[in-house]
Every structure is written in structure tokens, then in C-alpha cells.
Chains A and B, each alone.
Chain A
Amino acid sequence: MDSTSEENAARQLVPGAFQTPLKTRLQRLAGWSAFVLLTGWCLWDFGFSPGRILEGLTRFGSVLSFMFPPYIWQTWKEWSEILKGLGETVAMAFMGTLLGAIVAFPLAFLGAKNIMPFSWLRLSARRGFDALRAVEQIILALIFIRAFGLGPLAGILAIAVSEVGTLSKLFSEAIENTSKKPVDGLKASGSGNLQTIRFAILPQALPVILSVILYNFESNTRSGTILGIVGAGGIGFLLADRISAYKWPEAWSIIFLIILTVYLIDGLSGFLRKRIIGQDDRKQN
């Protein structure tokens, strides 16, 4: 068999490898042109222009140059203000996550398939969790400021409410992921529902639940830093204040301290998680 006939045989066997059908090519072309047009229109509509970008980048460069040498607060009065802000942020994340977890724990059983036999109740509980999660923390903070006044209390409650949504979902998944064997064992030896939950489900779910709480504490420390921008306590207020007063060196130092705090919390929660569940098996941002 010469090479041409071999090629022809292959052509018949897998036509797609030799030539893309016209329809697919047209579809791809349409897709790419839609993508390019949309992107181009966005860039035009938002006023992206080389001149504007260059001007902005020059400004950003000069703002960045204020990072060095970093601003260091001199007096204890200044330090105490900054540390109080950081402390408030961490405290808000801690209390918010804790309160959220306390409320979410019983609710999670309503949303777990292996505990809650009535699917209408389970599904409505789940949609409730989704709705709580859907409201941005910062909008919640604005609402709570109206009711509880400016300060970290509004921040705590904003974090707590959105955490109820997140944690209930994650907890009920942890409960659903438990093995059924201990449950069967306990039922066979005549235990009631509460005893089954206490001795068969909880020992399996608790380490996962604790690890989820630690992850969320860490992520709330990150997200809690901005609550202060709208007045709900914490370091965000000081940062927004410095930026609006164009005190860039101080602003960069605050950002640096925020990053350092998040690193510390990250390390601490990683350490605790390893102690609790033995290893770090879940990855997220």
C-alpha cells in the first residue's frame, strides 16, 4: 500500500482529523468575533485608552513609590489606633464566625439529606441558606449600621448572618458525607434518633465542621477588612480614611499590616486544622 492510499483510508476513517467541517469553523469564527467585538466594545465604553492607562499607571507608580521607605507610626497613640483597628477586624471575624456557627449548627441538620426525611423542609432550608449567602456582607453591614449604629457590632452581625448561610450549607454537606455504618449499628442496638446523631453522626462530622469553621474564620478576616469602609468597625475605616486624605505611605503600611495579620491567622488556622483532622486535605482560596 503506497502512502496516498494509506492517507485516503485514514481520511475515510477519521475525517475530522484532516479537515474541520465548515459548520464548526463558522461557529468558531462567530464565537471568536463575538468575543472580540464584546471585549472591544467594553474597552471603548469604559474609556480604556492607551493615554488614560499610561496616565493612571504613572500615578499608580508614584503611589507605589510611597511604599518605600514604609511609614512607621512613632507614638503609642498612633500605634494604639492602628492596633485597635486590626484587633477589631480580627475580633469581628472571630465573633461573627462563632455566632454564625452556633446558629448554623442546628440549621444544618434541617438541610442534611440523611437526617431530614421531609424533602420540602430540606429544600426550603437549603434555599434559605442560599438567600442568606446571596446578600453581600457589605450590604448587610450597611443595613445593620442603621439598626445598631456605627461600630464593630454591625460588622459582627453582618459577618454572622452571611456565615449562617455559608456554614449551614457546608455543615449539612459534612453531615451528609458521614458513613451510614455506625448509624445502622446504633439503630440495631436500639438507640433513638438523638442518640444516633450524638454517637454515630457527630463524631464523624465534627472534625470536618471544625475545620470548615477555621477556614471561614480566616476568610472572614480577609473580607472583614473592608467592612470599615462603610463604617462597620475595623481596620477598613482607618485605611479608607488614609486613602481619602491621600496619606499613601500610611495607607501602604496599613495594607502591609493587614497582609501580615491574614498571614498569621492563616498559619494559626492551618496549625489548628492539622491538629484537629490530622492533615490539610481541603484546598480553597
Chain B
Amino acid sequence: MTAYSPAVDQFELDYAAARKSALRVNTITTFLFAVCFFSAAWIGGFFDMTDVTLANGERVSMWKIWAGLPRLGEYLFKTLPVLHWDTLGADIANWFWRWQVWLELLVETILIAYLATLLGVVGAFLLSFPASRNLAPNAFILNLTRRYLEIVRTVPELVWALIFVFCFGVGPLAGVLAIGLHATGALGKLYSEANENADMRPVEGIKASGGSWFDQIRYGIVPQVVPNIISYTLLRFEINVRASSIIGFVGAGGLGQEIRVAMSLQEYTDLSALFVIIFVTVILIDMISEKVRHKIIGLTGKGV
């Protein structure tokens, strides 16, 4: 063996050790991943088999997903409306035959989202200050508000809706409160992060000139975070429109009820019509909120 300098020998040793530890980490990770994968697949019934009757009457055992795919295609195909070029107007009118009811429900869906966003914004705005590390009056209040926000956003809207439908009765009131409560948690976190990223120098200036905690927040923090708040709020409004379009599944108002009814009565083309309505609405809201956001950010001269 040729004699190398001790530094090279040391390097070779270190390299071999690093390779060995990398191999060990990779083996363990692969093993853990495989365990997770197979247990998840087993619990989720991913590899389940099912019996299928073939076209020639023969019964065979088939992978469940493979067996379900043709049915899925069939289902999606049924939702497509029959449109002919020469009778296009009449066909579309036929497709959207319940448009009066749907339009009313669409307006209700948007209004639920609007009121819920308003509720969420007010709640989140008030709670975001005690929930920011740099502004909370003391650690107890900080932790209390943070836990509250975490809990209301971890429980999904639909679960809140189930609870509120019991408390407030069937209808949009329960939906508004459910989405509003969930939005409080989601927005509260984003707002408090905006507060934490704000420049603390204005706050210190106000404190030094004798401003109270409210003065510090009103004049030190709020002007800095308003553009962020508006942009998060507009994004949330769009999310809330989607949420309020399905909240009707549990009886809390909006278009969801119609989707559920269309599914259980197998009114396939209604489903695609409802989907088109929701899709177009969300796109429109997205476009309008983008415009509003740019305008407001342009006015205050601040980037988000």
C-alpha cells in the first residue's frame, strides 16, 4: 500500500464513516416508510379485491380500484348534458332547468360566505393582537388565545355546522356561524403572523410618548398590517364561498343541499350544472378580489 499523508488517510476514514451512517439512515427511513405505506394501504383497503361479473357472465376477482374505474367513467359520462348545436339554447335551458332556485341558493351561498368572512375577520382581528408574541399583554393570555384559535380551526367547518344545526336549527344561520368560527381560527393565525412581522419601532415610539396598549396597537401596528389583512381576507372569502357551497350537506343552507339531493335522486346532469355554477362563481370572485387587492395595495403604496 502506498503511503499517503495522514490527512488523506483521515479523509478516507471520515468519508467511509459518512457513507456508512448515510446508508444506515437511508435503510431505516426506507424501512419505516415501507411500514407506514403497507399499514396505511392495509387500513385504507387499497389492495382489496372485489368480485366482478364480466360481460360473458363469468365472475372473477379483481383489484377494487381497477374494477371501479369503468363505473367512475360511466358516472362522470352521465353527468354530461346532451347538447346539440342546432338546439343549443333549448338544451342549455334544459340543463339549467332549475336555474331560478339555483340562483337564489347561489346568492344565499355567497351571502353566507360574506357574513361568515365578516364574522371571521372581526373575531380574528380582535384576537390576533393578544395572540401575537410581540403584543400579548402576558404569556397566559397569549397561550389562551392561541389555543382557542388552534382548536376552532382544527375542527372542520362541517363539524361545527353539524353542532350548530343542532343548536340554531336548520338553515343559513348555522352555516354562517360554523364557517365564521372556523375562519376566525384560520385568519387569526395569519393576522397574528402579520403582527409579529410588523416593525416594532413605531410601537416603541408611541409607548415612549405615553400611549396605552390600545394606542400602541391602533397607531403602531394596525396601519402596518392592514394591506396584509385585506389580502388574507379576500383569499379567505373565496375559500368560504367553496365551504358554504357544501355546508348544505348537513342542512346549514346554500347550494350544498341541492348537490346532495341531485346525488341521491341521481339527477346526473344537475350535478354538472351545479358544478359549473360554483366553478364560474369562484373564478369570478377570484378575479374581482385580485382587482380589489391590487387597488388597495396600490392606494396604500405597500407590497404584500
Interface residues of A (CB under 8 A from B): 38-39, 42-43, 45-48, 52-53, 56-57, 59-60, 63, 84, 87-88, 90-92, 94-95, 98, 131, 134-136, 138-139, 142-144, 146-149, 151-153, 155-157, 222-223, 225-226, 229-230, 233, 236, 239-240, 243-244, 246, 251, 255, 258-259, 262, 283, 285
Contact = CB atoms under 8 A, between A and B. Distances in A.
B250 interface: yes
A136 B279 CA distance: 10
B41 interface: yes
Nearest to B186: A285
Interface in B84-137: 108, 111-112, 114-115, 118
A56 B154 contact: no
Contacts of B265: none
A237 to B, nearest CB: 12
B154 A222 contact: yes
Given A91-B39, A134-B282, A255-B159, A63 B167 contact: yes
Interface in B39-87: 39-41, 43-46, 48, 64-65, 68-69, 71-72, 75-76
Given A143-B76, A151-B45, A46 B171 contact: yes
A94 B40 contact: yes
B45 A153 contact: yes
> Which of B168, B171, B189, B259 has the most chain A CB atoms inside 10 A of its CB?
B168
Contacts of A134: 279, 282
Contacts of B227: none
A42 B172 CA distance: 10
A285 B115 contact: no
B44 A95 contact: yes
A128 to B, nearest CB: 14
B156 A222 contact: yes
Contacts of B162: 229, 239-240, 243-244
B67 to A, nearest CB: 8
27 contacts: A39-B118, A42-B115, A46-B176, A63-B166, A88-B44, A91-B40, A91-B43, A95-B46, A98-B40, A142-B259, A143-B72, A146-B72, A148-B64, A153-B44, A153-B65, A222-B156, A226-B156, A229-B249, A229-B250, A239-B159, A240-B162, A243-B159, A243-B162, A243-B163, A251-B163, A258-B155, A262-B154
Given A56-B164, A95-B41, 20 more contacts: A46-B171, A56-B173, A60-B163, A87-B43, A88-B44, A94-B36, A95-B44, A134-B279, A136-B245, A138-B158, A144-B72, A148-B71, A156-B44, A157-B65, A226-B156, A226-B158, A229-B249, A236-B159, A259-B154, A285-B190
A47 B69 CA distance: 45
A138 B40 contact: no
Contacts of A233: 44
Contacts of B146: none
> Which of B45, B151, B253 has the most chain A CB atoms inside 10 A of its CB?
B45
Nearest to A134: B279
Interface of B: 36-37, 39-41, 43-46, 48, 64-65, 68-69, 71-72, 75-76, 108, 111-112, 114-115, 118, 150-151, 153-156, 158-159, 162-164, 166-169, 171-173, 176-177, 186, 189-190, 193, 242, 245-246, 249-250, 253, 259, 263, 275, 279, 282
B188 to A, nearest CB: 10
Given A63-B166, A152-B43, A283-B193, A225 B72 contact: no
B278 to A, nearest CB: 8
Given A59-B166, A94-B36, A259-B155, A148 B68 contact: yes
Nearest to A230: B249
Nearest to B193: A283
Nearest to A99: B46
Contacts of B169: 52, 56
A276 to B, nearest CB: 11
Nearest to B107: A45
B153 A285 contact: yes
Contacts of A236: 159
A163 B234 CA distance: 23
A152 B250 contact: no
B159 A225 contact: yes
Nearest to B165: A243
> Which of A53, A95, A246 has the most chain B CB atoms inside 10 A of its CB?
A95
> Which of B39, B163, B249 has the most chain A CB atoms inside 10 A of its CB?
B163
Contact of B156 (A59, A223, A246): A223
B40 A95 contact: yes
A142 B266 CA distance: 12
Nearest to A46: B172
A48 B173 contact: yes
